[in-house]
Amino acid sequence: MTPTLAQKVQLVAADASFILEAGGRIAPVEVEFETYGTLAAGRDNAVLICHALSGDAHVAGWSADAEAEARPWRRRKPGWWDEVVGPGKAIDTDRWFVVCSNVLGGCYGTTGPAATNSATGRPYGLDFPIVTIGDWVRLQALLMEHLTIPRWHAVVGGSLGGQQAIEWALAFPERVARCVVLAAAPRLSAQGLAYNAVGRHAIRNDPNFKSGQYYSGLAPAAGLAAARMLAHITYLSEASIDAKFGRRLQGRDRPAFNHDVEFAIESYLDHQGKAFVERFDANSYLSIIRAMDYYDAATWGGGDLVAACARIRARVLVASFTTDWLYPPAHCRAFALALCQAGRPVTYVDLPSPYGHDAFLVEADRVGALLRDFLAAPEVAHG
């Protein structure tokens, strides 16, 4: 399957402005997105997939050549959820019209910190306004109108994508029939805030960061790589790191005894850091982790999660993974319980998996089976 080429559309004109939850405004706003499959005549087969922190709109298939030329990292592998999305797959693009857009503040075509700030004529950098998951979703709602889709058959996401799915069900209850929340909780734990704080610190204090105005010079690669390496550890589990790497040396029988890469796990993380700085912008990373920090679904209920959940009209599927310690099962279960207490229909599954947070991607077969069934589930009847 070749997906459509990524499309870009200006959803907020230069003379309008998109007012943000935190109080700022941005204009113009462009959104880059991809679609897969065909919108049915009844416009009732649209599925929105929301990407996670370092993901993008390119969900499935290999990019077209022109695309790959412009974004070389895409050439190496197919879309990030290619095992789940495509013709005949769990999210069957022969049946569903799949939409995925790059988030506001990111670095993959949707307006973000590298865009030109019309007030100064130079890139926003760290002056890019704070955006929230609520803002991301409201911008996706503008895209939805642009695509003339009245209601999503389903909104689906994992991790930060799962929080977008939650926000969709809360902010636009009438426009979401089904909501799938994988490896995501209504808010980040204090430990999660702590990891983001270290990543933020590493980036902002990298001497090359220069208050975010580094676009004409060296990027803060050391800080961004450190942030990514650290985050990557939180995506794995102790057991999966141990099984995959243990204390094995990298390509040697005996230690070299130096400060270079010595253990296999170091080599792996080093590679993750290096690859990430080639494809991600540090200011976008800061923008996105701040959105992750601030998100709290309970805000819709004045701090009361059950009151918030009462707004929801969608049928909800929540899946956690036993060894996920970034969005631990207990936190995901709390969301499912709040939905129950609010009298909303919810299916909650805690999938046994050794792969930690990454399980929502790694366990593609089992997640796919859940999704296939859930997309076929009847809508909730509202009296």
195 binds a copy of itself (CB under 8 A): yes
Of 56, 92, 135, 324, the catalytic one is: 324
Residues 274-313 contacting a copy of itself, CB under 8 A: 286, 290, 293-294, 296
- Give the per-residue contact string, 212-231, with a copy of itself (x = CB under 8 A; - = no): ---------xxx-xx--xx-
Minimum Å distance from CB 262 to a copy of itself?
7
Residues 115-134 contacting a copy of itself, CB under 8 A: 126, 130
Whole-angstrom CA distances from 67 to 4, 161, 265, 299 are 10, 23, 33, 39
Minimum Å distance from CB 157 to a copy of itself?
21
Minimum Å distance from CB 3 to a copy of itself?
34
Q: Which is nearer to a copy of itself, 71 or 290 (CB)?
A: 290
Contact 359, 351 (CB under 8 A): yes
Distance from C-alpha of 214 to C-alpha of 290, rounded to nearest angstrom: 20
Q: In this chain, which of 8, 201, 252, 271 binds a copy of itself, going by CB under 8 A?
A: 201
Of 101, 159, 237, 320, the catalytic one is: 159
Q: In this chain, which of 87, 246, 251, 352 binds a copy of itself, going by CB under 8 A?
A: 246
177 binds a copy of itself (CB under 8 A): no
Residue 357 designated active-site: yes
Q: Which is nearer to a copy of itself, 23 or 88 (CB)?
A: 23
114 binds a copy of itself (CB under 8 A): no
Applying CB under 8 A, the site for a copy of itself has a residue count of 55
Selected range binding a copy of itself among 133-141, 202-210, 333-341, 342-350, rule: CB under 8 A = 202-210
Count Cβ atoms below 10 Å from residue 270 Cβ, excluding itself. 15
204 binds a copy of itself (CB under 8 A): yes
Contact 205, 223 (CB under 8 A): yes
Residues annotated as catalytic are 159, 324, 357
- Footprint of a copy of itself on this chain (CB under 8 A)? 22-24, 126, 130, 187-191, 193-195, 197-198, 200-202, 204-208, 221-223, 225-226, 229-230, 233, 238, 241-242, 245-247, 255, 257-259, 262-263, 265-266, 269-270, 273, 286, 290, 293-294, 296, 325, 328
